[in-house]
Amino acid sequence: MKHFLFDIDGTLTPARSKIDKEFQKFFAGWVTYQKEQDNEVFLVTGSDKVKTIEQIGLSLYRHVNGVYQNSGNQLFIRNSLIKQSEWQIPARLRLDVLVRLEISPWYGRASINIEERIGSANISSVGRTASKELREKYYQWDCREKERQSIVEYLSIRYPRLDFAIGGEISIDIYPKGKDKSQVLDDMLEKQNTIFFGDRCEIGENDYTIYSKAARGHSVKSFKETECVIKSYY
């Protein structure tokens, strides 16, 4: 049995956007084929259930074998909650994050700069509600200024029991060590047959641990590239 594991943003969809309709149809058919071969397909995302269903639709959400939300800290199988972690961001860390965001030289702010999730937290200078245009501007600025990298390095020293990973275009994921996406591998019956697809697979990014620990990893940059790769698994 093979276990196929997919990130969502940048892997199955454009970042924080809905899945392409043609790709959705293709991927659903591919999932059906893999299940017929007694293989399993799981989604592994840093987002919560509501955002995931907004992106991929309820039918695909229920069609895969399971969806790991919040970096693997919550598991849904066909819309039913199976398990979840209860970790919450400590008050001291929240204060440190607010101070770092307050002194950020980034000029444009939206709301929700700290988003608490099940078993994890997500922080962003630009804010989770930023428009697509503002997200892209911040991403280009951050590529030059390395703000997120600087914040990760600063907080990692102050909180050695936590992990801080750059995720997506605008944010940083926070979770206890070992509670990142790679934890889902412990649920796979045949770890030697795990295959992961993600777009943030460099060291320090939020797909790196699962990408490096899975039996096989595919680093992709778009759903079109994902489509090209998974065709080889027919």
pTM, two decimals, is: 0.82
pLDDT digits (tens, 9 = 90+) for 143-179: 999 999 999 999 999 999 999 989 888 999 998 998 9
Residue type, 63: H
How many of the other CB atoms lie within 10 Å of CB of 177? Answer: 10
Residues 119, 165, single domain; the answer is: yes
Q: Count the domains in the chain.
A: 2
Buried b (16+ CB within 10 A) or exposed e, 79-116: eeeeeebebebeeebeebbeebbeeeebeebbeebbbe
| 80 plus 22 within the same structural domain | yes
In this structure, what token pair is assigned to residue 5?
A: 């594991």
Residue 228 to residue 134: CA distance in whole angstroms: 30
CA distance 132 to 52: 17
Non-local (6+) Cβ contacts of 191 within 8 A are 185, 215
Co-location of 187 and 161 in the same domain = no
* CA–CA gap between residue 131 and residue 73 (Å, rounded): 27
- Among 156, 176, 196, the domain boundary falls at 176
Do 154 and 189 belong to one domain? Answer: no
Cα separation, 232 vs 23, whole angstroms: 16
Cα distance between residue 193 and residue 19, in whole Å: 27
**Whose CA is closest to 146, among 104, 209, 202?**
104
Q: Look at residue 204 and tell me whether its pLDDT is greater than 90.
A: no
For tokens 């084929």, name the residue: 33
- 59: domain range? 3-84+180-233
Which residue from 26, 49, 23, 33 is spatially nearest to 222, judged by alpha carbons?
Answer: 23
**Which CATH number covers residue 26?**
3.40.50.1000
Separation between Cα atoms, residue 39 and residue 58, nearest integer Å: 21
- Same domain for 33 and 148, yes or no, is no
pLDDT tens-place string over residues 169-190: 899 999 899 899 999 999 999 9
DSSP per residue over 76-139, as a string?
A: EETTEEEEE------HHHHHHHHHHHHT-------S-SEEEETTEEEE-SS-TT--HHHHHHHH
Query: Predicted confidence band at 142 (pLDDT cuts at 50, 70, 90)?
Result: very high
Note whether 31 and 48 are same-domain residues. Answer: yes
- What is the arithmetic mean of pLDDT over 127-138? 91
Residues 102 and 145 in one domain: yes
Are 35 and 60 within 8 A, CB to CB?
A: no
Tens-digit pLDDT profile for residues 48-104: 999 999 999 999 999 999 999 999 999 999 989 999 998 989 999 999 999 999 999
Confidence at residue 95, expressed as pLDDT on a 0 to 100 scale:
96
Describe the strand order of the beta sheet including 114-117 as a list of residue ranges.
114-117, 120-123, 171-176, 162-167
Q: Do 20 and 76 share a domain, yes or no?
A: yes
What CATH number has the domain bearing residue 126? Answer: 3.30.1240.20
CB within 8 A of 179, min separation 6: which ones? 71, 72, 73, 85, 87, 119, 120, 163
